[in-house]
Amino acid sequence: MFPVMLDLENRRCLVVGGGGVALRKVQGLLEEGALVTLVAPEAVGPLAALAAAGRIGWERRAYQAGEAGGFWLVVAATDDRAVNAQVFRDADDAGIWANVADDPELCSFHLPARIRRGELQLAIGSAGEAPFAARRLRGLLEQRLGPEWGEWLAAAARFRDQVRRLGLTAPEQESRFDRFFEATVDGENLTARVPTRAEQQQWLAAGPDERRVEPAATTPAPGPGPTAAAGLVSLVGAGPGCPGLLTVRGRRRLAEADAVVYDRLAAGTLPCDLPAAVELHAVGKAAGSQPVPQEEITALLVLLARAGKRVVRLKGGDPYVFGRGGEEAEALAAEGIPFEVVPGVTSGVAALAWAGIPATHRGEAVRLSLVTAHDAAQGEESLVRWDLLAGDEHATLVGYMGVAALPEVVARLLDAGMDPATPAAVIEQGTTSAQRRVVATLAELPAASARAGLQPPALLVIGPTVGHADRLDWFGRLPLAGQRLLIAAADDGLAFHLEDAGAEVVSVPLPLTPAARVVMAARPLTGCLVRRPDEVDGLDDERCSPGWGAEVVAWCVGEATASRARDCGWQRIEVLEEALDPAGLVARIAAGPRAASG
């Protein structure tokens, strides 16, 4: 087989069949901008919805011999092999590429398993011989390749343009490309980073023995001044992690956006129904690393805005509370780029509430101090007056980014005279399904946190109000607290019932959008609720998502849905009664799997 990548933008493509497999094929074609015609007497709900919305054309009839010849690419996905064979013969006779789902003998091309990070695509194929192997390899690489690869490729493309404008010889160009690759890619760990501007300028500089040639005429790079067509950058606070805490104004700005530049901690709050045309740029940092330097993030915002785009810079918490939003706003103002700030709920208040800890309480805490905990490691250069904080008995002290610096913070406060018995807590991933907390005295907190294995992102809370944590732990008492459930979007209000019971619900449209895939991968799923066989088909390819591990329970409504999940190889299948009301459904999921199944 000869591997190729096809440009399907505005190409007329035919899909024959109206089931779940056809849905997956239509989804893939639409993602690449194809003009899709569906031929089927009946179609599953999501396909019918696409037709009703005008996104595909639907001929509600059986396939007619010879009609495949009028398209650029053809896919057959019916449950009748004779029909599939007829479609393939018609396309093959007309010299048109055709694929019959799960039938390698009736294919002139095969669809590989794909991994996509922005414009970077990796395809894994087996010439149709062992799709299960290709799919498992895809799952392995999905887990290893982070979202930073998309921004890395975008940076590589910009670097290539800069190199080409230098007018260098081919070997000299390759030398610079080597510098870029070797400095930004960790081949052993399969990670990548975006280089700083200073690094790129260093790599672009000519060596002493290199010969410059006159560059070919090129379009000059945009200047730094403002343009009349500049778009708007909205610095939007996504809140602490719970999707429901995104503000109404923030949600509206996302719905209007042409491009979204988002942090890792904000990924789970992206609306899953963002259109596929919206550009998604992952620039967030994980603990101990920063894939995209701040200066490159700012440059990206300017670049997108100068193209006239409506840009949302989606940041965890509030943009101006330890979010470097002020730096980005200053840079945008200096460039003449219109911007606005949409405040968000900061974790220093919300995570406390989710953990049963009031930020203030009459007679106990009348002040609230928010600090960056890692400042404790700065020694004499620290800007925090730990001595004053240690002596304030009627305040709540909240330390952001508090895990790594926890021992230093506690040591500084104890050295300054704070009572070792002061109530304290660490809250990991507050307001999300992954929330955990450790409550102890100040002196005992570092050891207790280490025993629990708490990891960033986490908050440190110190003060008398921590003593209310057990009595006011409303969230931890909810029956579905700790559950992160994936469901296909519907209008029956089911997601609200599950959320009210404490679950973090990822409600995705079918076909899935790129934003939905980002949200799915933001945190581990605990379960997937499917109500019809076509939903199983629509979600089957997503089981390679980084958020979908072996522990995910497939909650299948009805035996027909469960049977389809078994046919697709799903694990940990639990059958739910079709007559279950929302309260019964919550109780059943809260009870957990009855037994190992599959």
Strands (E), 367-448: 367-372, 395-400, 423-428, 436-441
- Is residue 25 part of the annotated active site? The answer reads no
- Is residue 263 part of the annotated active site? The answer reads yes
Q: What pLDDT is attached to residue 191?
A: 87
CA gap 541, 139 in Å, rounded: 10
Instruction: Calculate the alpha carbon distances from 219 to 164, 216, 226, 335, 354 in Å.
Output: 12, 10, 18, 21, 54
CA gap 396, 357 in Å, rounded: 10
Q: What is the 3-state secondary structure (H, E, C) of 69-110?
A: HHCCEEEECCCCHHHHHHHHHHHHHCCCEEEECCCHHHECCC
pLDDT, one tens digit per residue, over 28-49 is 899 889 999 999 999 998 899 8
Give the mean pLDDT of the chain: 89
**Whole-number percent of the chain with pLDDT over 70:** 93
CA gap 555, 528 in Å, rounded: 6
Contact residues for 57 (Cβ-Cβ < 8 A; gap 6+): 35, 36, 37, 38, 51
DSSP state of 503: -
Fold agreement between 349-468 and 484-591: no
Residue 295 burial (C-beta neighbours within 10 Å; 0-12, 13-18, 19+):
middle
CA gap 245, 395 in Å, rounded: 26
* Structure tokens that stand for 53 in this block: 């919305």
Query: Which architecture characterizes domain 233-345 according to CATH?
Result: 3-Layer(aba) Sandwich (3.40)
CB 442 within 8 A of CB 486: no
Reply yes or no on whether the pLDDT at 212 is more than 70: no
Which helix (H) or strand (E) covers residue 59, if one does?
Answer: strand 57-59
**Residues facing 367 on adjacent strands:** 395
CA gap 503, 363 in Å, rounded: 34
Contact residues for 36 (Cβ-Cβ < 8 A; gap 6+): 13, 14, 15, 26, 29, 30, 55, 56, 57
* Structure tokens that stand for 570 in this block: 């799903």
Reply yes or no on whether the pLDDT at 214 is more than 80: no
* Structure tokens that stand for 499 in this block: 């959320």
Q: What pLDDT is attached to residue 226?
A: 44
Annotated catalytic residue within 92, 103, 273, 285? 285
Q: What is the mean pLDDT of residues 407-415?
A: 94
Q: What is the mean pLDDT of residues 160-183?
A: 92
* Structure tokens that stand for 392 in this block: 């304030």
Reply yes or no on whether the pLDDT at 132 is more than 70: yes
Which helix (H) or strand (E) covers residue 486, if one does?
Answer: strand 484-488
Q: How far apart are the first and last CA of the chain?
A: 35
Instruction: Calculate the alpha carbon distances from 312 to 165, 249, 300 in Å.
Output: 31, 12, 12
Helix, strand or coil for residue 441? strand
Q: Taking the domains of the chain in order of start, what are their residue ranges?
A: 12-111, 148-204, 233-345, 349-468, 484-591
CA gap 576, 195 in Å, rounded: 51
In CATH terms, the fold of domain 12-111 is: Rossmann fold (3.40.50)
CA gap 22, 227 in Å, rounded: 46
Tally DSSP H helices, then E strands, for the chain: 19, 24
Query: Which architecture characterizes domain 349-468 according to CATH?
Result: 2-Layer Sandwich (3.30)
Q: What is the mean pLDDT of residues 187-207?
A: 85
Annotated catalytic residue within 258, 263, 318, 375? 263
CATH class of segment(s) 484-591: alpha beta
Reply yes or no on whether the pLDDT at 224 is more than 50: no
pLDDT, one tens digit per residue, over 481-507 is 999 999 998 766 889 999 999 999 999
pTM of the model: 0.83
